[in-house]
Structure formats: structure tokens, C-alpha cells
Amino acid sequence: MNISEVLRLGQGSVIELDSKPKEPLEVWVNDRQIARAQTVVVEEKVGARIVQIESPETRLKSMSRVHHDPPRS
């Protein structure tokens, strides 16, 4: 999923999955959790419904920090 697709996500968005997870899902981008989701079945396809997500501004700041954080000792 590219960055423009991630920024368009909102509460109620559905992301198609290749497998059937049995637990709640976490959505991660660049090693940062940006959302929580639930598995759903839509027209015989399993997907994820976003139930909580950071604002587009917070997601963008979080993703850009990955490239600017100093290495940890």
C-alpha cells in the first residue's frame, strides 16, 4: 500500500487481506502503528475495517520521523 492510499484511510475503510486473521489487527507503516482494525467479510472476501486511526497529519509526521530519528545506542 503506498502513502497516498494510507493517507486516504479513515474510520470504516476496508483493506482486503490475503489471509483470515483470528485476532484484532494492527495497521503498521514504516515500523509505526497508525491504526487498529477488525476483520470483516465483504462479498466473500476477508478484509479489515479501520476502527481507530491517527489523523492524516499525525500519520504523516510519524512516518517522516522514521527517516529522521537518530540511531539508538
Residue 22 in this model has a pLDDT that exceeds 70: no
Query: Can you give the pTM of this predicted structure?
Result: 0.54
Query: In the chain, helix, strand, coil percent, each to 5?
Result: 25, 40, 35
- Tell me the domain boundaries of the chain: 11-55
Query: pLDDT digit string (tens) for 28-40?
Result: 877 788 888 888 8
- The pLDDT value recorded for residue 56 is 82
Query: pLDDT digit string (tens) for 41-71?
Result: 878 777 888 899 888 887 777 666 655 555 5
- The pLDDT value recorded for residue 12 is 87
